[in-house]
Amino acid sequence: MKIRNLIDFNDMTLDEWEELCTLAFRIKKSPAEYRDVCKGRIMATLFYEPSTRTQMSFQTAMMRLGGKIIGFSDPNSSSVSKGETLRDTVKIVSAYADIVVIRHPIEGAAYASSLYSHVPVINAGDGGHLHPTQTLTDLMTISELKGKTSGLTIGCCGDLLNGRTVHSLLRALMRFEGNRFVLISTPELRLPSYVVDELTANGCEIKEVSTLEECIGELDVLYMTRIQRERFRSPEEYARQAGVYRLTSDKMQLAKADLAVLHPLPKVDEIAFELDDDPRCVYFEQAENGMFIRMALVARLVGAERTGRAPAYPLPEKSFCSNPRCISNHEKYLPYLTKAIDGEVRCHYCDHEIK
């Protein structure tokens, strides 16, 4: 694999994805064969935001590969609470460890970290922006169940505005031939325009609806999500959106016999409890796949040559990104970096258009 960091699934070619997925299935089949692959290696998990599955699956992935782990799950117990910059933390931790996994509440924090890390960086979720290793998990599960990741009708339901797992997944699925997307949300929680624009520019067919009933029958995959309480400005705004979507047995009766219901978890009340026993609901199997695909990813990235000092980037004179949730507006030393996507100039950290 050529990539050094995994910040965005789209950093990878589809061939690299195929290779990774094949490896994950091999590990799932014969885990013992891989138990020494990371012997003597150390992974740092820097979790600035709560996590159960992602953090534990990365940690167990490294342990099952024979490596060791360091890190924090509560930034208040580290020097971050004394005001240390992200850059300083990353420089130091990447001198201790062979690979860094970071989750952060601010968009673009993982990419910013990769600028200063001596070792590969994996994005384990950056605010409401992206969550590429959840996407690896989702694609592996879809591929396992459907035998393909193309030519499918995929519905995404819930908080499409703030759900980073949905942003990452749709941007990945748009690269496979013939996928159709049905977006199920309230007007307030629609998919952000920068993701919609990218899907449209890639020629994807998108349908936006407001209820599950009107589309569940046509879906091959239904990706349910939680309303992201922590990303709302006020409890009142959250309360207006909470509980709008609920998958129940009645609605499942309208679905295809081979529908696959995925959820990145944690789920709150968006799926009725009794559906956990419906064989079409595969989120627990999906969470298990997360460990195998992370084992494959870590095995592939760890051991990349260490880099020396990061270049001395020129400091920007003023803020350049209009997104208040972008890391460039929180860590002021970050250089002005942009990228072009479909002819638009975007902020390299958070993907928002630079005007």
The answer to the question of residue 131 lying near ligand NCD (CB under 6 A) is yes
List residues with catalytic annotation: 53-54, 82, 103, 131
The answer to the question of residue 171 lying near ligand NCD (CB under 6 A) is no
The answer to the question of residue 125 lying near ligand NCD (CB under 6 A) is yes
- Residue 264 beta carbon to ligand NCD: minimum distance, rounded to whole angstroms: 4
Distance of CA 297 to the CA centre of its chain: 14
Near ligand NCD in 236-265, by CB under 6 A: 264-265
DSSP 219-247: -SEEEE----GGGSSSHHHHHHHTTS--B
CB atoms within 10 A of CB 60: 15
Near ligand NCD in 86-105, by CB under 6 A: none
The answer to the question of residue 164 lying near ligand NCD (CB under 6 A) is yes
CA distance 140 to 21: 6
Residue whose structure tokens are 């003023």: 318
Near ligand NCD in 189-228, by CB under 6 A: 226, 228
Of the pair 53, 280, the CB lying nearest ligand NCD is at 53
Backbone angles phi, psi at 136, to 5 degrees: -60, -45
CA distance 355 to 338: 11
Pattern 289-328, binding to ligand NCD, x per CB under 6 A?
----------------------------------------
Smallest CA-to-CA distance from 86 within 123, 113, 124, 120 is with 113
CA distance 349 to 338: 8
- Residue 131 beta carbon to ligand NCD: minimum distance, rounded to whole angstroms: 5
Partnered with residue 102 across adjacent β-strands are 46, 123
The answer to the question of residue 168 lying near ligand NCD (CB under 6 A) is no
CB of 38 closer than 8 Å to CB of 66: yes
- Residue 267 beta carbon to ligand NCD: minimum distance, rounded to whole angstroms: 8
Near ligand NCD in 47-76, by CB under 6 A: 53-54
How many residues bind ligand NCD (CB under 6 A)? The answer is 11
DSSP 128-142: TTB-HHHHHHHHHHH
Which position among 45, 117, 165, 185 is part of the footprint of ligand NCD (CB under 6 A)? 165
Q: Which residues bind ligand NCD (CB under 6 A)?
A: 53-54, 125, 131, 134, 164-165, 226, 228, 264-265
